[in-house]
Every structure is written in C-alpha cells, then in structure tokens.
Copies of this chain bind each other. A is one copy, B any other.
Amino acid sequence: MYRLVISFLLLLSPVILKANDGYKLWLQYLPFENKAVADYYQDYLGNITLVGKSPTHEVIRRELEIAIEGFFKGTITPSIADHNEYGLIWIAKSEDLSGTFKAAIGEKSKEIKDDGYLIKYSQGKIVVTANSDIGLLYGTFALLKKIQTREKLEGMEILENPKIQLRLLNHWDNLNRTVERGYAGFSIWNWHRLPHHIDQQYIDYARANASIGINGTSVTNVNANALVLTPEYLEKAAALADAFRPYGIKIYLTARFNAPMILDSLPTADPLDLQVQAWWKKKAEEIYSYIPDFGGFLVKADSEGQPGPHNYGRTQAEGANTLADAVKPFGGIVMWRAFVYNEKTPTDRIKQAYDEFKPLDGKFRDNVIVQVKNGPLDFQPREPFHPLFGSMPETPLMMEFQITKEYLGQESHWVNLATMWEEVLQSDTYAKGVGSKVINVLDGSLHGYKLTGMAGVSNIGTDRNWTGHHTGQADWYAFGKLAWNPESHIEEIIGDWLKMTYSNDPDFVNPAKNIALNSYETLVNYMTPLGLHHIMARSHHWGPGPWVTGGGRDDWTATYYHKADKKAIGFDRTESGSNALAQYTPEWKNVWGDPETTPMAFLLWFHRVSWDKKLSTGNSLWDEMALRYQQGVEGARWMQNEWSKLEGKIDTERFTHISSFLNIQATEAEWWRDSCLLYFGQFSGMPLPKGVEKPKHDLQYYLNFKRNFVPGI
C-alpha cells in the first residue's frame, strides 16, 4: 500500500520544476519519471549494504542518501546497512568482500588497479568493489550514474581503471578572490574565512570532482603570489586539504620562483644557490607539516613577467629540479609549465617552448612533470597539437587544457570544448610512426612515462551555477571524464551529462546533444576560420580585435599573427618563413608544408596565402573566409532556434538563462564576422560574396567599440 501511494504521486507530480539554478551540476539525481521506473530501482536502492569504515565510506553513505532523496523526491528515507544478507547492492573493498561475492566476482577483481573499480551484476545482486576507499567512491558514483541515466542494472559488468594518474584542476584564482580569465564571478575560495569556516560549497566542489575522477587541485593562480607559502595561508590551505581528503583530492599550490627573496629577503632566487636550495627544502618541510599529503608545486616561470631560472642564466630543468628536490622526501611532485616565451620576441612565439624544452629532455628529476598546453600558442579556438608531444621521450609531459573560455566566447558562448580536446587528443604525432597519438604520449604508453597527468584550467566561480554559462558545466564534466580516460567518446559524455543535469527525455537530450556537437565548429567559423589565430581584443580578449597592433610586445598583437596586407594573409611557418613546422615529424611536415595538402583548418596557421588564391572548395581565399564567417553566424542562429524548441522540456530557469546567452552569442557572432570582414576587406579589396550579410556598422564603429570592466583580468 505504501509503495503504491508513492508511485501514484510520482506519476502525478510533474518532474519539471520551475526553478533550478544549476548548483547541483550533474548530481541532480532527478526524480524517477514514473511508477515503473521508480519501482525498478527501488528494489535495489532500498537494499544497500556498505561495508567498512573510513571518512570516504561516510562520503559514500552520504552520497547514496542524497541520491535516494533526489530520485524519490524525499518520499522514502534512505537506509544503508553495514551488513545485510539481503542487500541487493553491495559496496565493499575487495578485502571486505565475503566469500560468496569473492567467488562470484572471481578473477575479474584482480584486474582492478590504482583507484579503479569493478561493478558486477551477479545472481540478482550488484557488487561495487575496489582496492582503495577512493576507488569504492568512484565505483559508487559510476553506479549512480547508471541509475541517473536510467540504465538497466542486470548483467552489468564495468571495470574501470584510470588511464592518467594526475587528474587536476588548475584554478587561476588570486588571493583577493579575483580570477584571471575567470568568467563565472569570483573565486570560490574565501581565504578570509578559512581555516575556520568550511563552506558547503567546498564539499560540493569535492563531490563533483570526485564524481568524475578528478584527484587533485591547484587552488592558486600560476601568476603566483608568494604569500600563499606563508603560515597564514598554509593553515588555510590545510583546512581545504582536510575537507577534500575523503574525496581523494590532493591540494597543490603555485610557487612563485622568487619566493625566497620575497618572503625571506634572500639576495637571490638562483636555483643553484645553496641557500636558495636550503630555503625550498625548509619551506617544503613546513608545508608538509601543515598538509601531510600535499601534492606539490605548479610553476609558471620565465613567462609573461613571472620570475624564473632565466634570471640567473639557468635552465628550466635546473629551476624545476631545485623545487623537485625539496618536495621529493615527502612524495611531492613539481608540475613545471612549458608555457615559456621571451618578452623580446626573438623568434616566432610558437617555436619557443619547443626550442627551450626539447634540449632538456631527460634532464628533469623523476618527480617533475612538464605541463604543456594543447597547442603551441595559447588556447586559441583551434591550434594544431603542441610539437612537444612526442618529442620528449625521457621527460613526462602532461596536458594543460583551458576549461575557462578565455578565447572561446568567455561568459556567454556555448561551445562544447570536448570536441576540441578530442581533436587534439586523437592527433597522431607519428613520433614512433603511425599510432603515436597524443593520447599515447599522455597515458605514458608511448614513452613509458612513470608520471602521467592532465590539467584543466578551471571555469569555476561564485556564479550560482558555478560556471557562468550553464553549459560550462559540461566542459568541467568532460574534462574529468577525458582525464580519467582520454579515449572516452565525447558523444556519450555530452549525452550522459545532459541526462544527469537536465532530463532523460530523449526529446530533450537528442536535440540538445546535437546543438552541443555542432557548437565548436560554429564558433571557429565565426571567430577564427581557416587557421586564423590571436585576432581577439587586447588584454581582456573579449570580442574581435584583428586591428590590434603595436604596444610594445609584437607577439601580443593580432597583426603579428595574421600579417594581412593587400596581397595576402597568414603566417608562413614553413621553411620559407619561421619554419616552426620543423618542430613536427616528417609526416606532418609533408602535410602541413604545402598549402595544397594543408587542411583548411590550419591554412593560415602555416601559410601566407594570397586573397585571390583558389581553394579546393572552388572559392577564393577571401570568399571562403567571408562565407565561413557567415556560416558561423548562421550556426549560432541555428543553435538559438534549435534551443528555443526545447522550451517546457526542462525547468524554466535554466532554459531561460541559456536562451539569453544564446542571444548574446548570436549577436557576438555577428560582431566577430562584421569586424573581421570589414577589417580584412580593407586589404583584400574584394567584395563580399553572395550570401554574406552586409555589416551592421562601418569599421570605425567596431574600432571605437569599448566596454569597461570586462571580466577576467
């Protein structure tokens, strides 16, 4: 009778609530759609046994309670047993499994590695098992995901081991709570209230990250403030570390290279100076006294004003090794960023990281990993993979993706970053012949790296939905999934995310997925088609700025990169130009060395092409560019239109929020198209081809357009 009543109500009450601010991310645990669905899962969720005791077990228990509360709209009280013969879901580490289950699982459990897990259906029961507490938590989240996406539990057998060891978020958060390149408000780290107040948001942050396998976080900006290494802040960081520990998330801090000078007035920060080395050792000791499982340092050195070993005529390896030696006794690591380039611009900026690091291969300590951006420039809408991937067999490299959309629409554009990331991850470097994909570099299989990692520059802020744009949550989610397994299918990732976050209704999920999957190419078209790059506005990087020139640093201007004149446009990076191409394997040199064989996506990245050059499409370069900008605008409008059809299928609040951002996106797509075509049209001198709309204003209007207090700087 009681069960019947519940289901009756579930049927009656609409699943679609009017207000949902998105705070719960993909852990909405949306109510079951109807009686049948509820009944099906209730058999399992009503009979859970969780074996063992640890802070992580408490986290598991709490998560199950939250999930059950959500699934059943609070109509049943979760009850999770420690031991219960009748349990239909058993959650236990392999060492805690009873004989019956051990037998049922058999050899399979031996394949569990690290924090991996196994979920196996056997004789009417589901077993979630792992070798570690954290593995058990991951397994629980995986099972909950299956229920969130309404999959059948019978016959389930999932064995998942992480393919990458270090799965990290990098927060570019300053201690004053501004966020560099942050577009979702301000930093969620309220340093002033730490260590005394642990906000619920920190816990929910840890839950969200654990649910997608993220196991570390660097909480401070790479443009670093040395203060974070003082007791005042270490005490605060330790409180965060304590809060995150049960979720398997380690804390990392950014180290300012000249911290010994700033904090203790040492006369130098030379990494080979004995006093400096002693300073870092003592500092590491101090840090570990606060945070016994401190992860280590993330360092940006010799780049964009940050001090580094160059100041003392030392190499990046010498710099990294001094810090690495300091944390080594405690099991710490150093993530040393390869984003090093000279402020004097002696050569093509995109060549510099390779030139600097390639000769140092093998010269780094074994607890150093070099963190490399996906492309050789700086998170542009589209770049070829970074030539360091495949070029450092003796030095572990980790990937740095930018989840925050500095160059991809910032606040308000919907662009599914996983599409871009997949493009890079699946690129073949040919370092050891065909099949030497970036993925194989990252997972350690190509070169036998002992350390592997992937970092994502966080898009999280104080906005009520965490990420500003609701769809930014998908990028955070997808980053975690790809860090766990870079071979994951992005279509599945976005589909799962939509289901868990919004609705399992296929009439919502399929069209929304379609929008997401088309969003990346659309954005590239209206921003930087044909391999254009770095043509955004100065400093805040919001909106178009192909006219940006001068100002002291050539390699921070647009004209340096597009080099448009009356004859041609594009950066010649072949032998006749900067020869950046030489940093790639011969296979790529062949393809990218000739404009005829270069995919149009990278045409102007590698080549200088005359405006009237006929492309494979039959269009002149100018016409092709104009048509692509137009196509981008139309794509943005299509996204608007497709989304508008989904009204009523999800809650009004998030539907409206995304709608208004899609309006902004369509308007800004026009802004990009009109600005770029008016500007480049001055050089091409050619008319707009048929099908391309006339610009709304003249070029002067766009040149004059200026907004104050653009976020993120």
Contacts and interface: CB of A to CB of B under 8 A. Distances in A.
Given A186-B462, A192-B411, A200-B21, A708 B74 contact: no
Interface stretch (A352-360, A656-664, A679-687): A656-664
B196 A663 contact: yes
Residue among A13, A192, A663 having the largest count of chain B Cβ atoms under 10 Å = A192
A412 B186 contact: no
A191 B661 contact: no
A669 to B, nearest CB: 14
Contacts of A12: 75
B708 A232 contact: yes
A9 B5 contact: yes
A191 B709 contact: yes
B201 A74 contact: no
Nearest to A77: B14
A660 B198 CA distance: 8
A696 interface: no
Given A193-B412, A196-B660, A664-B196, A201 B707 contact: no
Interface in A152-207: 175-177, 185-186, 190-193, 196-201
Contacts of A9: 5-6, 9, 75
A177 B74 CA distance: 38
Nearest to A186: B186
A36 interface: no
A192 B13 contact: no
Interface string A344-366: 00000000000000000000000
A702 interface: no
A263 interface: no
Nearest to A653: B200
Given A9-B9, A186-B186, A464-B464, A709 B192 contact: yes
Contacts of A192: 411, 707, 709-711
Contacts of A664: 193, 196-197
B412 A462 contact: no
Given A191-B709, A232-B707, A707-B192, A660 B412 contact: no
Residue among A196, A463, A707 having the largest count of chain B Cβ atoms under 10 Å = A196
A652 to B, nearest CB: 9
A83 B412 CA distance: 43
A23 interface: yes
A8 interface: yes
A707 B707 CA distance: 34
B5 A657 contact: no
A227 interface: yes
A196 B667 contact: yes
Interface string A528-541: 00000000000000
Interface string A1-29: 00001101100111001110101000000
Interface string A417-455: 000000000000000000000000000000000000000
B707 A74 contact: no
B19 A200 contact: yes
Contacts of A176: 709
A73 B17 CA distance: 11
Contacts of A411: 192-193
Interface string A576-595: 00000000000000000000
A9 B463 CA distance: 35
Interface in A198-235: 198-201, 227, 232
Contacts of A185: 177, 186, 190, 462
Contacts of A190: 185
A200 to B, nearest CB: 5
B13 A74 contact: yes
Contacts of A708: 175, 227, 232
A657 B463 CA distance: 20
Interface string A664-692: 10010000000000000000000000000
Nearest to A191: B709
Given A23-B21, A177-B186, A201 B464 contact: yes
Contacts of A14: 74, 77
Contacts of A656: 200
Contacts of A196: 660, 663-664, 667
Contacts of A663: 196
A473 to B, nearest CB: 16
Interface string A450-469: 00000000000011100000
A198 B353 CA distance: 43
B661 A197 contact: yes
Given A193-B412, A664-B197, A709 B464 contact: no
A713 B464 CA distance: 23
A287 B76 CA distance: 56
Interface of A: 5-6, 8-9, 12-14, 17-19, 21, 23, 65-66, 69, 73-75, 77, 175-177, 185-186, 190-193, 196-201, 227, 232, 411-412, 462-464, 653, 656-657, 660-661, 663-664, 667, 707-711
Given A5-B8, A175-B709, A200-B656, 9 more contacts: A12-B75, A13-B75, A23-B464, A177-B709, A185-B462, A191-B709, A192-B411, A196-B660, A200-B653
19 contacts: A5-B8, A17-B74, A18-B66, A18-B69, A21-B23, A176-B709, A177-B186, A177-B709, A177-B711, A185-B190, A192-B707, A192-B711, A196-B663, A197-B664, A200-B653, A200-B656, A227-B708, A462-B463, A464-B464
